[in-house]
């Protein structure tokens, strides 16, 4: 495997399958009374989060601790970053303490690439700007595989603010690599230029996009998008693109509904759909820990798991 996991394109198809298969073993650890294995004992992992995060940060932290790693959490609010230290200098300072891995979340696309050029530590991208969120796509793929056995040939529709979504980019790369038929849908103002070249079908007609879908993935739409005139209002967004029970019924009868979280109920997704029988949203969160354990383990060199 490559030194870092910055993008899904850093993984070959075989490596993706390896991560997903390893996740199953890791999940089993989470079901034991003593949820710990010594696999990463003595290794130091730094969680460097420049952006606030509930689920990703805690998910990584739990994963690291279950593998017995020593974890260090650095969040912007409480560090010298607020004093104006550059990412470059912060990285060099952390590197001087020889961590084995740095898990980075940052508001700028490519921040992990910059870090990777400076640090010898392995970098795991936990979300960089609008670019990618590889472990999210991996846990999404794991969740889909749990329900559908195989990803190849499935129709997966991703709906929402495509332009600003790192979850979209990672998922598109991963799902197309594994042979899914990927549709993306959202307001024209939020469709990234040239996205068809990533191998997806684009439609601003949500009813067409979700017809006979096996998987529907909703992306969050932020309030701020009304400034910059991307959408007129959240109300109108829900009316044109919101995932309602009626729209879900256009998909396959065994469709699964996904969302990376956090959700805006009543904006991109109706509450009854989020809490309904097709929703696997909470499973995604649960799978997140196991997937991240797998990634940490494999990036660290994949020693024996007891």
Partner 1 sequence: MSKRLLRGARVVDPANGRDGAFDVLIEGDRIARVGRDLPIDNETTVVDVPGGFVVCPGLIDMHVHLREPGQEHKETVATGTSAAVAGGFTAVACMPNTSPVNDNAGVTEYILKKAAEANLARVYPIGAVSRGQKGEQLADIAELRQAGCVAITDDGHPVATAMLMRRALEYAGMFNLPVIDHCEEQTLTADGVAHEGFHASALGLRGIPGEAESIMALRDIALAELTRGVVHIAHMSARQTLDAVRWGKSRGARVTCEVTPHHVILTDEMLGAPVAYDTNVKMNPPLREAADRDALLAGLADGSVDVIATDHAPHHYDEKQVEFDRAPFGITGLETAVSLCFDRLVHPGVVSLARLIELLSVNPARILNVKGGTLSEGAPADISILAPDMRVTVDAGRMRSKSKNTPFDGWTLRGGVAATIVGGRVVYTNEGVSLQM
Q: Which stretch binds partner 1 (CB under 8 A): 32-40, 53-61, 103-111, 240-248?
A: 103-111
Interface map 285-304 toward partner 1 (x if CB under 8 A): --------------------
**Long-range CB contacts (< 8 A, 24+ apart) of 71-79?**
71/44, 71/45, 71/46, 71/47, 72/44, 72/45, 72/46, 72/47, 72/99, 73/47, 73/49, 74/46, 74/47, 74/48, 74/49, 75/49, 75/50, 76/49, 76/50, 76/51
Q: Which of 70, 81, 129, 265 binds partner 1 (CB under 8 A)?
A: 129
Least Å distance, CB 94 to partner 1, is 16
User: Counting contacts by CB under 8 A, is residue 128 touching partner 1?
Assistant: yes
Dihedral through CA 288, CA 18, CA 134, CA 231, nearest 10?
-80
User: Counting contacts by CB under 8 A, is residue 88 touching partner 1?
Assistant: yes
Residue 271, burial from CB neighbour count under 10 angstroms (0-12, 13-18, 19+): exposed
Nearer to partner 1, 25 or 118 (CB): 118
Contacts to partner 1 from residues 212-271, by CB under 8 A: 228
- Mapping DSSP onto H, E and C, the string for 170-182 reads HHHHHHHHCCCEE
Q: Which of 130, 226, 285, 298 binds partner 1 (CB under 8 A)?
A: 130
Q: Which of 66, 122, 169, 259 binds partner 1 (CB under 8 A)?
A: 169
Nearer to partner 1, 84 or 253 (CB): 84
Neighbours of 144 (CB within 10 A): 26
Least Å distance, CB 173 to partner 1, is 9
Q: Which stretch binds partner 1 (CB under 8 A): 20-28, 128-136, 151-159, 249-257?
A: 128-136
Q: Which stretch binds partner 1 (CB under 8 A): 111-119, 215-223, 271-279, 280-288?
A: 111-119
Distance of alpha carbon 61 from alpha carbon 292, whole angstroms: 9
Q: Which stretch binds partner 1 (CB under 8 A): 32-40, 85-93, 264-272, 281-289?
A: 85-93
User: Counting contacts by CB under 8 A, is residue 83 touching partner 1?
Assistant: no
Exposure letters 24-56 (e unless 16+ CB within 10 A, then b): eebbebeeeeeeebebbeebbbbbbbbbebeeb
CA-CA-CA-CA torsion sign (246, 251, 257, 258): negative
Q: Which of 106, 145, 177, 259 binds partner 1 (CB under 8 A)?
A: 106
Using CB under 8 A, list all residues that contact partner 1.
86-88, 106, 108-111, 113-114, 128-132, 166, 169, 192-195, 197-198, 228
């Amino acid at each position: 495997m490559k030194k870092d996991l910055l993008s899904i394109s850093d993984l070959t198809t075989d490596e993706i399958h390896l991560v997903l298969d390893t996740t199953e073993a890791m999940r089993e650890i989470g079901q034991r009374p003593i949820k710990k294995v010594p696999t990463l004992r003595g290794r130091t992992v730094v969680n460097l989060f420049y952006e606030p995060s509930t689920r990703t940060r805690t998910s990584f932290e739990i994963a690291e601790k279950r593998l017995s790693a020593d974890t260090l959490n650095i969040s912007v609010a409480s560090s010298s970053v607020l004093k104006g230290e550059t990412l470059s200098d912060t990285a060099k300072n952390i590197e001087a303490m020889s961590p084995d891995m740095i898990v980075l979340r940052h508001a700028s696309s490519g921040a992990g690439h910059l870090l990777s050029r400076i640090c010898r530590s392995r970098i795991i991208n936990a979300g960089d700007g609008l670019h990618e969120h590889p472990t999210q796509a991996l846990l999404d793929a794991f969740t889909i595989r749990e329900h559908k056995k195989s990803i190849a040939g499935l129709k997966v529709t991703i709906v929402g603010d495509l332009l600003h979504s790192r979850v979209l980019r990672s998922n598109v790369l991963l799902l197309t690599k594994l042979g899914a038929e990927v549709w993306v849908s959202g307001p024209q103002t939020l469709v990234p230029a040239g996205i068809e070249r990533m191998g997806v079908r684009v439609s601003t007609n949500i009813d067409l996009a979700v017809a006979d879908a096996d998987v529907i993935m909703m992306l969050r739409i932020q309030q701020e998008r009304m400034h910059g005139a991307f959408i007129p209002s959240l109300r109108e967004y829900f009316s044109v693109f919101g995932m309602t029970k009626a729209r879900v019924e256009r998909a396959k009868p065994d469709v699964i509904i996904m969302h990376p979280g956090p959700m805006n109920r009543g904006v991109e997704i109706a509450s009854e759909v989020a809490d309904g029988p097709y929703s696997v949203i909470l499973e995604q969160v649960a799978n997140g820990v196991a997937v991240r354990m797998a990634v940490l383990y494999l990036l660290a060199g994949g020693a024996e798991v007891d």
